[in-house]
Structure 1
């Protein structure tokens, strides 16, 4: 009986050990599978991240290539603009000279001309002279606008920069019959900026406002000035349709635009220029249907 009991006991112990070994093997296999699955998941995440980074890099490369192409186009356009402005000056000077000579050659008491006709001729020749002066001013601004910016900051008369920007955008404003409300800007009020780039920002903001007013009744652009001590704030607003929340959320995102032929770079470049000046360019609270407003803050020159 003792032997039988011992045998049964040994068999039980052996079976228990077998079950333990089987459980350990099962646990080891489970851990191995878990480790393998974890390693596969980590590798999958790594590969996914690498693919995502590669796609992002490809997108950045395509974006940079597009920006380079556009920059080359803009540089070429600037050269063409400067060249056209230069070529216009020669015939323009000739027209002015002929008009002035015509006025001088016109006798005040010409017997062959009726007094009214003489007066009309003098008035027309004077108008030609004034128009040539105006065209010369525009071509001068165009040549200056196309000139490469120096990148050096210095005191810039805010009124002069705004007047130049208004001159460059005047033709479309007249065509749309846009009412313009301007602030009183002291001639001696100066900001720390660079003339050409400041004009570029102002032209962009004014053009955007004018485009927003296309086909609107009673179009109006308001420019307001706020002097906050060391900082000047120039606000440009319109009474157009305003900006939708989707457009407002990506105003300063490159290549994001609601214009069919827009590039989506104007506001981005303008914001960077403002930052370079030590200022800022921001959009005011947007209320769809009530126009848009932009605030350009610039450090005041001492």
Structure 2
């Protein structure tokens, strides 16, 4: 009893000690992983930040020398000395517009020494700069001091962000005005918005004006004092923005950056590693914010892995020690029976292994058979779909001559009407010319309708069933077969009862079936004195019955029983493969319907049965 209690106390003590060591080890591992992870993130962030700053400098450097080059243009100098009349102003506007298009800048404009814009590239837009005074802008004030003016702001006219370069226009040492270009920086956010990190660019007042997270745009990193707000208002730098401060708190400073808390892109507080680099030439500060959630997830994963490993190792050690004790206790009692037990155990393991091998082999064979069947079914389905589509293409090929005639005849008429209209216009007979043009429009509409039906008929179908109006299917099929119907002078009789019959089918596939049946009917009555085709449809309970009857010679007894078999045809050699009715029967069965045939000396009747669409409005 005492020995049992001692062992229990010892076991609890061992588990407690292990747990305490595990907690200490996990804390140490978490700290090391966190520090190394921050260093890795900072190294990656530094590289991306350098690339971003280099890209920004490249954008600005590309246009930095353009204002100085334009300021030396004698046209601008002479215009400031003698603006002239309206024609000279318009000519200069066009000249600046051409420069703006070539240089791919947002706007280019010329200002006199009072800050009045006297010519601009956007002179034809709804809100041009011409006539507006921008003397309050710092870039103009810098240019009038003989310097290259730089400034970022929202346009007071366009309300669009831009970076401005301005340079004084001189005659000798006298400053006559300034030429200004504005470049669009929206592309910066678009090109860098796909990165996982968030980029920020702030002005000297810590106002965010470029960011890959739009909700932070025109927010501030800290509260602005009254002086800064007053300067921003006077320069109209951000005329439509509230300039609210983002809630930011510093967690810890490091040599490579800061760990901060602020509102994330999902509206929740997030922890970021912030790194920054100044752009002194532009007066900007560029920051990159790297979300450390992946680092925290990595720490959790490492802790789980290490903790699991420790517990598993301790469990194995405890089990091993327990097993050793039990073996030692049992060894004295099991010396005589161990050999027999070992033999039985070996036999049992052998049987289990043999049975396991058999089961594995059987399972593998079963899986192989299942996969083979799936592959066969997939090939069969794909082949059936391709066969159906090939049959449609074959049908279109057989009708190509009639379709060609159907298109060439209106084209010839269009040519004739167009020639007549040209002659009538020359004679100022406008009413008759308009009538000829109207005829051209009607012929064009008919050709377009035929094209639409041929495109709809030739496309591959998904095979999905839906509610289909029967009259729409018949209209499409008859439109496709119209050249053949007219060529053979066929008389059609269509009787739908009711006229708004709707059935459950696939419209493209059902139209293919109707084209096949009607095409066969036209072929059957070809050359006969009586060339009639009757189409009758009616509802019978939950089914729709469609009958297609022709006035041909009927189907001979030798073909009747095998009429739906593959490669059975009554057409002459070269006019059919004998697959049309086979494919039609397969299509109808897959839509839950069927087809049968009746024949007599007065012609053949093909009878289709399909499900009626439920939920249809009977009174529509």
**Alignment TM-score > 0.5, same fold:** yes
Shift of 1:180: 0.4
- Please tell me whether the aligned partners of residues 388 and 583 of structure 2 are also in contact (alpha carbons under 8 angstroms): no
Shift of 1:196: 0.5
Shift of 1:229: 1.8
Deviations 1:246-285 (CA, angstroms, capped at 9, x unpaired): 111210010011212211100010011111111111102x
Question: Which of 461, 482, 491 lines up with 1:170 in the alignment?
Answer: 482
Whole-angstrom distance in 2 between the partners of 1:73 and 1:138: 19
Corresponding residue number in structure 2 for 1:112: 427
| Residue 540 of structure 2 corresponds to residue 224 of structure 1 | no
| Residue 446 of structure 2 corresponds to residue 134 of structure 1 | yes
Deviations 1:69-118 (CA, angstroms, capped at 9, x unpaired): x949928948x99xx9xxx9xxxxxx9xx99xx8xx99x9x893458xx4
- Please tell me whether the aligned partners of residues 392 and 512 of structure 2 are also in contact (alpha carbons under 8 angstroms): no
Shift of 1:189: 2.3
Gaps (5+ residues) in structure 2?
1-379, 405-410, 615-620
Whole-angstrom distance in 2 between the partners of 1:113 and 1:250: 68
Figure out how many residues of one structure are paired with residues of the other and give that number.
215
Shift of 1:216: 0.7
| Residue 585 of structure 2 corresponds to residue 271 of structure 1 | yes
| Residue 390 of structure 2 corresponds to residue 74 of structure 1 | yes
| Residue 252 of structure 2 corresponds to residue 252 of structure 1 | no
- Please tell me whether the aligned partners of residues 192 and 299 of structure 1 are also in contact (alpha carbons under 8 angstroms): yes
Alignment of 1:178-189 (within 5 A): 178-184=490-496, 186=498, 188-189=500-501
- Please tell me whether the aligned partners of residues 157 and 187 of structure 1 are also in contact (alpha carbons under 8 angstroms): no
Question: Which of 431, 444, 458 lines up with 1:146 in the alignment?
Answer: 458
Shift of 1:188: 3.9
Tell me: CA distance 1:228–1:244, structure 2 relative to 1, closer, same or farther (3 Å): same
Instruction: Give the 3-state SS of the residue equivalent to 2:603 in structure 1.
Output: coil
Whole-angstrom distance in 1 between the partners of 2:519 and 2:388: 22
Instruction: Give the 3-state SS of the residue equivalent to 1:274 in structure 2.
Output: helix
Corresponding residue number in structure 1 for 2:249: none
Whole-angstrom distance in 2 between the partners of 1:238 and 1:279: 22
- Please tell me whether the aligned partners of residues 391 and 580 of structure 2 are also in contact (alpha carbons under 8 angstroms): no
RMSD of equivalent CA atoms: 3.6
Deviations 1:18-37 (CA, angstroms, capped at 9, x unpaired): xxxxxxxxxxxxxxxxxxxx
Whole-angstrom distance in 2 between the partners of 1:76 and 1:280: 20
Corresponding residue number in structure 2 for 1:45: none
Deviations 1:140-164 (CA, angstroms, capped at 9, x unpaired): 1111111111111111111101110
Tell me: CA distance 1:171–1:185, structure 2 relative to 1, closer, same or farther (3 Å): farther
Tell me: CA distance 1:159–1:72, structure 2 relative to 1, closer, same or farther (3 Å): closer
Corresponding residue number in structure 1 for 2:345: none
Question: Which of 505, 520, 540 lines up with 1:193 in the alignment?
Answer: 505
The structure whose residues are more often strand, as a share, is 2
The structure whose residues are more often helix, as a share, is 1
Whole-angstrom distance in 2 between the partners of 1:175 and 1:276: 34
- Please tell me whether the aligned partners of residues 154 and 194 of structure 1 are also in contact (alpha carbons under 8 angstroms): yes
Corresponding residue number in structure 2 for 1:283: 597
Tell me: CA distance 1:138–1:248, structure 2 relative to 1, closer, same or farther (3 Å): same
Alignment of 1:40-79 (within 5 A): 71=387, 74=390, 77=393
Whole-angstrom distance in 2 between the partners of 1:75 and 1:267: 10
Corresponding residue number in structure 1 for 2:51: none
Whole-angstrom distance in 1 between the partners of 2:494 and 2:392: 34
Shift of 1:173: 0.6
Tell me: CA distance 1:281–1:242, structure 2 relative to 1, closer, same or farther (3 Å): same
Deviations 1:4-24 (CA, angstroms, capped at 9, x unpaired): xxxxxxxxxxxxxxxxxxxxx
Corresponding residue number in structure 2 for 1:301: 613
Q: Structure 1 length as normaliser, TM-score? A: 0.62
Tell me: CA distance 1:76–1:256, structure 2 relative to 1, closer, same or farther (3 Å): closer
Shift of 1:125: 2.1
Corresponding residue number in structure 2 for 1:52: none
Gaps (5+ residues) in structure 1?
1-63, 89-94
- Please tell me whether the aligned partners of residues 392 and 457 of structure 2 are also in contact (alpha carbons under 8 angstroms): no
Whole-angstrom distance in 1 between the partners of 2:561 and 2:547: 19
Shift of 1:128: 1.6
Shift of 1:187: 5.8
Whole-angstrom distance in 2 between the partners of 1:75 and 1:212: 19
Task: Tell which structure's C-alpha radius of gyration is larger.
Answer: 2
